[in-house]
Amino acid sequence: MIPATATPHKLAPAPRVLFFADAGPNVGGGHVMRCLTLAQALVARGAVCGFVATPSAAEVLDAFADEGIERVAEEDVAAAARNWPASVVVVDHYGFDRTEETRLRAVGPLLIAMDDLRRAHDCDLVLDSNLGRTAADYPGIETLAGPDFALVRPAFAQRRAGALARRAQDAAPSRLMISLGLTDVAAITARVVAAVLPVCAGLAVDVVLGAGAASLARLQALAAADARLSLHVNTQAMPDLTAAADLAIGAGGSSVWERCCLGLPAITVVLADNQRPNAAALETAGAALALEAGAEDFEDRLRSALRRLAEDAPLRQAMSAAAAALCDGGGAERVADRLLARI
């Protein structure tokens, strides 16, 4: 019982974390997706999370955000941070430069920048999960660097032990997953599917893409004519699909860490300049094969790489082990803990 003269203890207010993530036909939905992964880890720790709901980001949020994630209608992130109000702002946006960061910091919140370009920043903390990155890449700023901090949903880590045990049995491949981004930049998904179908004998093919993907109509026609193809549109089942796959063809963005977490032998397709260094580092580490979508002989090289993976059991075993060693799927929890410790 509290004495009449005592002052009741006031609970500290919950941290309020605002995310500003880029999205759209040219950049895809990966920025919003990895921010959602961090937001969900923060909410589980008692934080309140919101997103600046630009029209492009809102499309991804509509498909994948949990009900507890708030939306902020302001498109100017500084105004949103002031009016929401935010104690922390997380920016994942290549178009948001150091000048914008300085303007945002004047509003007052702690500023976290997600990056993989080794740009100059004016922020409190940088997160760059690319393989080989270190704090030296962002001098003078606290940095969470490398795949230990890759933002992978907990559902992937929950399937890790079972997936790795199954891959260790080294059965002949029976399922191929093709996942090249929700927005399907330059209709790359249909291009890849059409290129590899001639060498997919004996493989069921799971194709993952968004409802607005440029390839959707063509892929629906291909799937209607070919029983091997299954389309998964705006799917919530990526952890299960990744665990069930034996081989993958995937984009070079943040989804590489989902595949690594589950030890999935993969061909990484470089769709943008910023993906190239990490894709090359993964190939050097033996964790994936890397191909440039812009290469003149891309289709031929893609078919050759897929045949090689399907036929070379020792290569698949070595690649699975190398990939799994890079990422254990616990990065979102580590980042959430470090971020909240800064508040």
Instruction: Give the CATH number, domain containing residue 62.
Output: 3.40.50.11190
Q: Which domain holds residue 122?
A: 16-152+330-342
Q: How confident is the model at residue 2 (pLDDT cuts 50, 70, 90)?
A: very low
Query: Is the preceding omega at residue 25 within 30 degrees of 0, hence cis?
Result: no
Measured CA to CA, the distance from residue 287 to residue 259 in angstroms comes to: 10
Nearest to 326 by CA among 291, 278, 294, 290: 278
Clarify whether residues 224 and 292 are in a common domain: yes
Clarify whether residues 228 and 119 are in a common domain: no
Nearest to 124 by CA among 157, 93, 87: 87
Clarify whether residues 166 and 306 are in a common domain: yes
Q: Is residue 9 part of a domain?
A: no
Burial of 304 (0-12, 13-18, 19+ CB in 10 A): middle
Measured CA to CA, the distance from residue 37 to residue 71 in angstroms comes to: 16
Clarify whether residues 140 and 178 are in a common domain: no
Q: Is residue 6 part of a domain?
A: no
Q: Is residue 1 part of a domain?
A: no
Instruction: Give the CATH number, domain containing residue 236.
Output: 3.40.50.2000
* Strand intervals (E) in 83-219: 88-92, 110-114, 125-128, 142-145, 175-179, 204-209
Clarify whether residues 112 and 137 are in a common domain: yes
> Which pTM value belongs to this model?
0.93
Clarify whether residues 138 and 175 are in a common domain: no
Q: Is residue 257 part of a domain?
A: yes
**pLDDT, position 9:** 52
Which secondary structure element, helix H or strand E, spans residue 279, and what is its range?
helix 276-284
In 10 A of CB 299, how many CB atoms?
A: 15
Q: Is residue 8 part of a domain?
A: no
Per the structure, how many domains does the chain have?
2
Clarify whether residues 29 and 170 are in a common domain: no
- Tens digits of residue pLDDT in 140-175: 999 999 999 999 999 999 999 999 999 999 889 999
- Tens digits of residue pLDDT in 286-336: 999 999 999 999 999 999 999 999 999 999 999 999 999 999 999 999 999
- Tens digits of residue pLDDT in 58-96: 999 999 999 889 999 877 999 999 999 999 999 999 999
* Strand intervals (E) in 271-318: 289-292
Clarify whether residues 200 and 229 are in a common domain: yes
Clarify whether residues 100 and 180 are in a common domain: no
- Tens digits of residue pLDDT in 12-30: 789 999 999 999 888 888 9
**pLDDT, position 170:** 80
Clarify whether residues 140 and 163 are in a common domain: no
